[in-house]
Structure formats: structure tokens, C-alpha cells
Homo-oligomer: A and B are copies of this chain.
Amino acid sequence: MGLEERRKREKENRKNAILKAARKLFFDKGFKNVTVESIAKKAELSKGSVYLYFKSKEDIYTQILLSDIDKFHKVMANIIREGQSSSATLMSLANLYTDFFMNDRELFRIMMNYMLNIDHMNLPEEIDHLIVKATNKTIDIIEEIFMIGVRSGEFPPYIDLRQKRNAIWGLLNGTISLHLFTGSEEKRAERIRSTIQTGLNTFLRGMRTPSGNGQ
């Protein structure tokens, strides 16, 4: 409760106000279409003040990305739980993954761009690396879930892990892409979730039935 402490706290608050304003704008309009002036306005500050807290527009952007990637990892970290079937785990992964990117369209767009090598935006090396890592994280987790399923006998032992993993990853991201940037806001969450849920269920059923022998 000191005086120095109060000033530090207020600085932190200012910075957060800018980040909050910027996040919303970036995620609504994308990096290029947001002006620093508009961020300042939304944060109820002057443009000059924004530059007291961040050294560039890009700096704001990368700090948001870093913090969101961090959140992403936290969300993904505890997906795999004891005593839950791999199918159920995959389903909860799909739901969490969808929910996360529903609230962070910009990050999704960026990850997709990286995946597709469209546009590396000239972000610092370090950020590049982290984004790639975050992108791969989901793939790794899906593979891990499949391995657990095979080990427990839930899935046949002869499946091609890589293939299944990629199919699921594609299903997830393809569906999200399709819905996230098209159509109206209304009931978007429901549409994505139900599409993914039925798709995933169908796929898993296919894996377990003898006719669809996992190949």
C-alpha cells in the first residue's frame, strides 16, 4: 500500500487498458486495418501515451499474441485426464479448441496463415517460433490421445496414427475456418460445435467398426 507501489499499479493498469482495447480491435479488423490512433481512442488515451507503453504498433500486437498463446497452452495443457476414454478426451479437446478460437479469431487467423505459409508478417524470429510451436501443440496432443486409445484397446492397434491425427486436425480447423469468417454471428458457436461434434463422432465410429477398419 505504498506510494511507489500505487504508481506501478497504475502503470500496469494503463498498459492493460491499451492491450484490452487493441485486442478487441485487432481481432475485429486484423492488424493492418487498425490504427494506433483508434487504439488510443478506445483506451481513452492519446496516441503519444500509447508510445509510452509500447515501442511500436507491432510491439502491442506481439505482446497480445504472446499472452494469448500462453493462454492457449494453459487451456490445452490439462486436456488428457485419467479415467476418461480417448473419444471423450478428443471431444473435449475439440470443444475447448473451438471455444478458445471463437474468442480469439485473430490468433486463429495467424496460426492458419503460418500453417499455410501465407504471410509471416515480419514478426520477430522469437514470435515466429512460438506460433509454430503453438500450432504444432494441438497436433501433438491429438496424436498422444490416439496413442493412449490404442494402448487401452479403445482403438485398433493397426491404425495409422499420423493419418488419423491429421484428419482430426483438419476436421477441426477446416470447420472452424469455414464458420469463423463467414455467415452471421448468430448461433455461430452452436453451428461450429455441432458440426464438429457430429463429424468427430462419425469419424470415431468409423474407426471402431470392423468395416471401417481403421485404414
CB distance from A77 to the nearest CB of B (A): 37
CA distance A1 to B44 in the complex (A): 7
Chain copies in the assembly? 2
From B2, B5, B45, contact of A3 by CB (8 A)? B45
Q: Let me know if A113 is at the binding interface, CB within 8 A.
A: no
Residue interface mask A36-59, B partner, CB < 8 A = 1: 000001101110000000000000
Query: Using a Cβ–Cβ cut-off of 8 Å, how many residues does chain A contribute to the interface with B?
Result: 10
Q: Contacts of A3 on B, CB cut-off 8 Å?
A: 41, 44-46
Would you list which residues of chain A between 1 and 28 have a CB under 8 Å from chain B? 1-3, 5-6
CA distance A23 to B131 in the complex (A): 52
Q: Contacts of A6 on B, CB cut-off 8 Å?
A: 44-45
CB distance from A13 to the nearest CB of B (A): 11
CA distance A1 to B40 in the complex (A): 11
CA distance A130 to B44 in the complex (A): 40
From B1, B42, B44, B46, contact of A5 by CB (8 A)? B44
Specify the chain B residue showing the minimal Cβ separation from A2. B44
CB distance from A85 to the nearest CB of B (A): 49
Interface-central residue, A2, A3, A6, A46, by most chain B CB under 10 Å: A3
- 3 A-B pairs with the lowest CB-CB distances in the bound complex, closest first: A6-B44, A3-B44, A1-B44
